Structure 1
Amino acid sequence: MNWAVNLIAEVPPNEVTERVVWCDGGSGPEGHPKVFINLDKPGDHSCGYCGLRFVKKDHH
């Protein structure tokens, strides 16, 4: 049996260059309220609603 938390953990984090991103879980009825996620600290950061992860790419 695959729990939702295990399935979402298999999705790689979204790499972004912004310090703050937002997530609404998708459009329409599948979505959730828009939340803003601060990526200043290292590592990946999960959306509290849907569990999607975001990580800030370093500029070199």
Structure 2
Amino acid sequence: MARSNSFVVAMGDVFPLGAFIVSEVEAVRDFDKSAPGRPVQQMDKESGLPGGRCRCWMPTRSAAE
């Protein structure tokens, strides 16, 4: 069953061994508001802050040992 609303989860519950950024953080484009030659950055619906994305690496238990 899919949820349409957000909920709070502790980072340690999702990433018990941590998560490491392995790329540059780049802006998430808002395709509905952007036009050719005029990109618009997507804003978070709750905080109003600009959205970004990056690649992450999540260690495994065997890598941590």
TM-score category of the 2 structures, normalised to the smaller one = under 0.3
TM-score (norm 2): 0.24
Normalized per residue, which structure has more strand?
Answer: 1
Q: Is the radius of gyration larger for structure 1 or structure 2?
A: 2
Normalising by structure 1, what TM-score?
0.25
